[in-house]
Structure 1
Amino acid sequence: MNVPSQGARRYEWRVALVEDHMLQRKRTEELVAAQPGLRVVWSGETLRDFTAWLDTVPEPRRPQLLILDLMVERGASADPAVVRELTRSGLKVLVLSAMASPELVRKILRAGIGGIAGKRDSEEDIVAAIWTVLGRGQWLTPELASVIAGDAERPQLSDQEERALVLYASGLTLEAVAAALGVKKDTAKKYLSRVKAKYATAGRPVGTKLELNTVAQQDGYLDPPSRS
């Protein structure tokens, strides 16, 4: 154990990460660890794993910030009720996510989080978001603000319909969408059929996966492809 010879040891903020993609998780760990005054104390795939770990940790070791991915390819999205309990306990939460349905974003914001950053944001912006949230500020990009404000032309989809749209428009097969949602293939197909019907009713007919991808980007369900 390293003990400083003079003065008090520098204070470090304790940070936890929830991210299901290993490479993204490792890179975020590296990004956090490279910042003086930040230390990763836990890193894992799901919010459920994090809360289970948190229940076993004494107060001096508990994180002060959770960097949270909202949606995963396989499994349930982050539960706003669980996030609300975490923020009420004093934990600061910064969402770092790519797949995020507008409705889920709204619910998570109402849970009292400190901000949302996108995985396509620059690393400088992500670091700035971390420090802003730790400083009790709010971090929200203009693009996300427009998503949260809502769009009268965007159909109102259920949570499962939104997830089916995001997953399918991201390139997954119907079988993979069903597996990710934990439903049968026919049920996933019904969700997508309802999505198409609602868009048709709104005067924005979609029929192909490419068209679904286009409206998903237009309505803020998916990030546009990188042009770099």
Structure 2
Amino acid sequence: MVGRGRRATDAPDGARSRAFRWRVALVEDHLLQRRRAEDLVGAQSGLDVVWSGETLPDLLSWLETVGDGRRPHLVLLDLMVDRGPSVDPEQVRRLVRSGIRVLVLSAMSSPDLVRKVMRAGVAGVVGKRDPEEDVVAAIWTVLGHGHWTSPELARILAAGSDRPQLSDQEERALVLYASGSTMEAVAEALGVKKDTAKKYLSRVKAKYAAAGRPARTKLDLNHLALQDGYLDPPSRP
């Protein structure tokens, strides 16, 4: 089911009367966002943050050292597309198979990765731009063995039928260039020569053209990146 409409303070039926408290682990590489997530989860009656850190491998290592009484019931997982390596879907699958529910918190900058972790068995995806009450409602929904789909994710998936498949480097080049970076800056960020960065973007344009969505200018690429969820829409004033 898709969980919608639950107030931020509403727990699943009977959850607050349980003898134990729900244990939550947080994986988020941005310190300020991680601290805010800790505060948000910790403020909910019946929830305890039992682990908080930067990477999924760190969490998996910690899980090997603790007993069942410390293991989280749920992991709130940032995909970390913008900083450091992306989450490995196989590691997500390991978590799910161990009985831990996984709720992805994503900026939706890599829809392909979101699709991969969904296939790995995560219980839901909530957008980083979603209201905090939706994040909390998603947590309670997943703890109640439901599923949560962010409206933003639904929009991206619905638009995915004519979305070309890009390689990781092509996707990164598109995001950087469509965000306003110069070709030189794109090359530097990717750790390649300028000519190589140009080739990546040429391939991106060719793939979009083959999908019937040609992009001739930087502005065209920006529009396509927004439509396909590679970029967040501009903040409203």
Q: Does 1:129 align with 2:138?
A: yes
Which deviates the most, 31-40 or 138-147? Answer: 138-147
Please state how far the C-alpha of 1:91 moved relative to its aligned partner.
0.7
Equivalent position to 1:75, from 73, 78, 84: 84
Q: Does 1:38 align with 2:47?
A: yes
Query: Which position in structure 2 is the counterpart of 1:174?
Result: 186
Query: Which position in structure 2 is the counterpart of 1:4?
Result: none
Residue type matched to 1:184 in 2?
A: V
For each residue in 1:68-90, what CA deviation from the matched residue of structure 2 results, as whole angstroms up to 9, or x when unmatched? 11133232111111101110100
Query: Which position in structure 1 is the counterpart of 2:8?
Result: none
Residue type matched to 1:162 in 2?
A: E
For each residue in 1:155-214, what CA deviation from the matched residue of structure 2 results, as whole angstroms up to 9, or x when unmatched? 122344334433544456314531xxxx53455554333212212333333355443332
Distance, in Å, in 2 between the alignment partners of 1:137 and 1:116 is: 12
**SS of aligned partner of 1:31:** helix
For each residue in 1:70-123, what CA deviation from the matched residue of structure 2 results, as whole angstroms up to 9, or x when unmatched? 133232111111101110100100011104322211111111111000011001
Q: Does 1:54 align with 2:66?
A: no
**SS of aligned partner of 1:226:** coil
Query: Which position in structure 2 is the counterpart of 1:5?
Result: none
Distance, in Å, in 2 between the alignment partners of 1:188 and 1:57 is: 45
Whether the 8 Å contact between 2:22 and 2:48 is mirrored in structure 1 is yes
Query: Which position in structure 1 is the counterpart of 2:114?
Result: 105
**SS of aligned partner of 2:162:** coil
Query: Which position in structure 2 is the counterpart of 1:214?
Result: 223
Whether the 8 Å contact between 2:103 and 2:125 is mirrored in structure 1 is yes
Q: Does 1:65 align with 2:77?
A: no
Q: Does 1:227 align with 2:217?
A: no
Mark the runs of 5 or more structure 1 residues left unpaired by the alignment. Answer: 1-7
Mark the runs of 5 or more structure 2 residues left unpaired by the alignment. Answer: 1-16
Return the TM-score normalized by structure 1.
Answer: 0.84
Q: Provide the aligned C-alpha RMSD in A.
A: 2.4
Distance, in Å, in 1 between the alignment partners of 2:45 and 2:141 is: 15
Whether the 8 Å contact between 1:177 and 1:188 is mirrored in structure 2 is no
Which deviates the most, 87-96 or 196-205? Answer: 196-205
The structure-2 alpha-carbon separation of the partners of 1:151 and 1:74, relative to structure 1 and needing over 3 Å to count, comes to closer
> Percent of aligned positions with the same letter in both sequences?
68
Query: Which position in structure 2 is the counterpart of 1:16?
Result: 25
Residue type matched to 2:48 in 1?
A: R
The structure-2 alpha-carbon separation of the partners of 1:135 and 1:67, relative to structure 1 and needing over 3 Å to count, comes to same
**SS of aligned partner of 2:152:** helix
Whether the 8 Å contact between 2:81 and 2:109 is mirrored in structure 1 is no
Residue type matched to 2:24 in 1?
A: V
